[in-house]
Amino acid sequence: MYDFIKPLIFKLQPEMAHRLTIKALRSGLSPRCGSKNDSSLRTEICGLTFSNPIGLAAGFDKNAEALFGILGMGFGFAEMGTVTPNPQEGNPCPRIFRHVPTGSVINRMGFPNEGLGVFKDNLKKFRDKHPALKAPIGVNIGMNKDQTDPEKDYILLIQELGQYADYLTVNVSSPNTPGLRDLQNPAFLAPFLTNLMAEKDKLENKPPLLVKLAPDLSEEQISSISKVLLEVGIDGIILTNTTLDRPDSLPSTFAQEKGGLSGALLKAKSTEIIAQFYHDTQGRLPIIGIGGVSTADDVIEKMRAGASLVQLYTALVYHGPALPRQICQDLGAFLKEKNYKNISELVGEDHKNKETSSARA
């Protein structure tokens, strides 16, 4: 079905196509592909249960307006946002660009969203209307472009939205809000995250707090950030956001667009970053892996590198709404064929194999 309508969708400007997709998901026009998940895909992190490990990444539904349709695609969880306290328009259009031959996207959205009030209303309505839907919902929070004291915005969003979230994501890694990535600096990150953790601990539900990081970090930066995250006692890490890299395989007309690159060309880099964080945190912090995931093999690769769950966004643009269900089916078949009882046995396998082979040597 998606193969049939894809040429029409790809004739539209990417942002227009996205708006129509959200409308379709809201109105129930989208297909519901929700067959039951194999029990081998069921997994737990941070005290939350996931019927399968495939989640929708942040940025797709910035205002939490299409949750029911999104979960109907077969995702095991979904992350909404990035939401900022005040509504903002984001950067001028056009600001999303596809490169079909490499399955890539560049975006410089700059957090356009309707703000905290609308987001909260939408999420409350969804919770009231669908109490039986148990898939965890993450809330990804960010600061307004004109905020000079970032902590103020994050604290407010935790206070206002934390009670409706199964987990919160502190986004300090989008490349399109000036100064945002500077928050990853370990000297800033330590007191900042300590204060945010204290704030969420004041909430009755105490949702797990995760931090989402960029792939454009050096080994030294990863090592010092890992130390900070362990000290602060963060609940988990989301790796990674889009990259500023422009691989040589991209044509210059596309590569020169400003913004973050996502999709197939981010895959290897984000997996490497996951592996380094898993190593540097000794596997003690749950990792949600993202970047170029479009097949069961990609999921397996990310999990073996250290991810407990994965998310995707760009692959949905290229492969359509049946993708999450297809990946789950393929994962179930893989686990059965290789005699794994549960998907969680894959997590960090690369590292264990390395240890065994160095012990043998």
Ligand X SMILES: Cc1cc2nc3c(=O)[nH]c(=O)nc-3n(C[C@H](O)[C@H](O)[C@H](O)COP(=O)(O)O)c2cc1C
Query: Could you give the residue numbers annotated as active site?
Result: 174
Please report whether residue 309 would count as binding ligand X according to CB under 6 A: no
In contact, 311 and 240? CB cutoff 8 Å: no
C-beta of 40 vs 107, nearer to ligand X: 107
C-beta of 112 vs 332, nearer to ligand X: 112
* 91 CB neighbour count, 10 Å cutoff: 17
For ligand X, the binding residue among 63, 82, 122, 344 (CB under 6 A) is 82
Nearest to 201 by CA among 234, 247, 238, 245: 234
Please report whether residue 314 would count as binding ligand X according to CB under 6 A: yes
In contact, 177 and 153? CB cutoff 8 Å: no
Q: Which amino acid is at 104?
A: S
| Contact set for ligand X, span 136-165 (CB under 6 A) | 140
| Contact set for ligand X, span 272-301 (CB under 6 A) | 290-293
What's the residue count for the chain? Answer: 361
Please report whether residue 84 would count as binding ligand X according to CB under 6 A: no
Please report whether residue 112 would count as binding ligand X according to CB under 6 A: no
Return the residue matching tokens 């206070």.
159
Smallest separation, CB 315 to ligand X (Å): 6
- Encoding tokens for residue 313? 């966004």
In contact, 137 and 165? CB cutoff 8 Å: yes
C-beta of 91 vs 227, nearer to ligand X: 91
For ligand X, the binding residue among 50, 97, 154, 313 (CB under 6 A) is 313
Mark 205-244 with x for binding to ligand X (rule: CB under 6 A) and - for no binding. -------x----------------------------xx--
Q: How far, in Å, CA of 289 to CA of 274, rounded?
A: 7
* 122 CB neighbour count, 10 Å cutoff: 21
Please report whether residue 58 would count as binding ligand X according to CB under 6 A: yes
Smallest separation, CB 107 to ligand X (Å): 4
In contact, 331 and 296? CB cutoff 8 Å: yes
SS3 category, 248: coil
Q: Which stretch, 182-190, 197-205, 308-316, 324-332, contacts ligand X (CB under 6 A)?
A: 308-316
| Contact set for ligand X, span 12-51 (CB under 6 A) | none
Helix axes 219-232, 267-280, angle to 10 degrees: 50
C-beta of 72 vs 263, nearer to ligand X: 263
Nearest position to ligand X, beta carbon: 59
Which H or E run includes 217? none
Please report whether residue 108 would count as binding ligand X according to CB under 6 A: no
Smallest separation, CB 56 to ligand X (Å): 9
Q: DSSP letter string over 276-321?
A: HHHHHTTT-S-EEEESS--SHHHHHHHHHHT-SEEEESHHHHHH-T
Please report whether residue 107 would count as binding ligand X according to CB under 6 A: yes
Positions in the binding site for ligand X (CB under 6 A): 57-59, 62, 82, 96, 105, 107, 109, 111, 140, 171, 174, 212, 241-242, 262-263, 266, 290-293, 312-315
